[in-house]
Homo-oligomer: A and B are copies of this chain.
Amino acid sequence: MLTPSEKKTFKFIQQYFMEKGYAPTLKEIAQGIGINSRGVVHRYLKSLESSHLITILPNRKRGIHLNPEANENIPLVPTIPLLGRIAAGHPIEAIEGRDEINLADFIMNADRFALQVTGDSMMEAGILDGDTVIIKHQNTANNGDIIVALIDGIEATLKRLKRLPDGMVLLMPENKFMETIAYEPERVQIQGVVVGQLRSYQ
């Protein structure tokens, strides 16, 4: 179990790694977490090592490794550090305030489930073949939402919703090679709304 100081130390190391591409010195860590003593930092590092979060190469300068396989030791909060904003042509810009993403907030919820997407009908909305979408189960949706709809009780589809003033329901793909189709409202049953999306490149 990490103390708050140890956690702070660990986060600083992660962030430093990202920005510089190499590990910080003990002095830099000390400054980064707001203390003066290298000895104290060393104590925190020893503790992080015994939690298998890092590996210390003895006596090496900047000899800290982040351990990839360490998730079992921080099991409780599904968070990942959010280090900043990346835009082409600029240095990575730090984000004040929010410094981590809580996956629980992001998607976990009793009324949510996942679907794996096949096909390219939502390609131009950034939803590609093989992606996973997180659906919030609900029977209504707003204009412009991306929804899971059941047509005639059988055919399921992922489309953007638009209701016309005359009552017709448009299900619009985000792919210029595919056509929007209009349905009578009673043929379309809304199953849920897309609230998130995941993609794995591994």
Q: Which residue of B lies closest to A15 (CB)?
A: B113
Q: Let me know if A155 and B89 touch, CB within 8 A.
A: yes
Q: Let me know if B114 and A80 touch, CB within 8 A.
A: yes
Asked whether A87 and B119 contact (CB < 8 A) given A66-B110, A66-B137, A67-B110, the answer is: yes
Q: Let me know if A196 and B199 touch, CB within 8 A.
A: yes
Within 8 A of B (CB), among A1-48: 1-4, 7, 14-15, 17-23
Residues in B with CB closer than 8 Å to A87 are 117-119
- Chain B min CB distance to A195 (Å): 5
A56 at the B interface (CB under 8 A): no
Which of B67, B81, B113, B145 contacts A113, CB < 8 Å?
Answer: B81
Query: With the chains together, A60 CA to B22 CA distance in Å?
Result: 31
Which of B62, B126, B158, B173 contacts A128, CB < 8 Å?
Answer: B126
- Chain B min CB distance to A44 (Å): 14
A161 at the B interface (CB under 8 A): no
A interface, CB within 8 angstroms of B: 1-4, 7, 14-15, 17-23, 53-54, 61-63, 65-71, 74-92, 95, 100-104, 106-119, 121, 123, 126-128, 131-137, 139, 145-146, 148, 150, 154-159, 173, 178, 189, 191-202
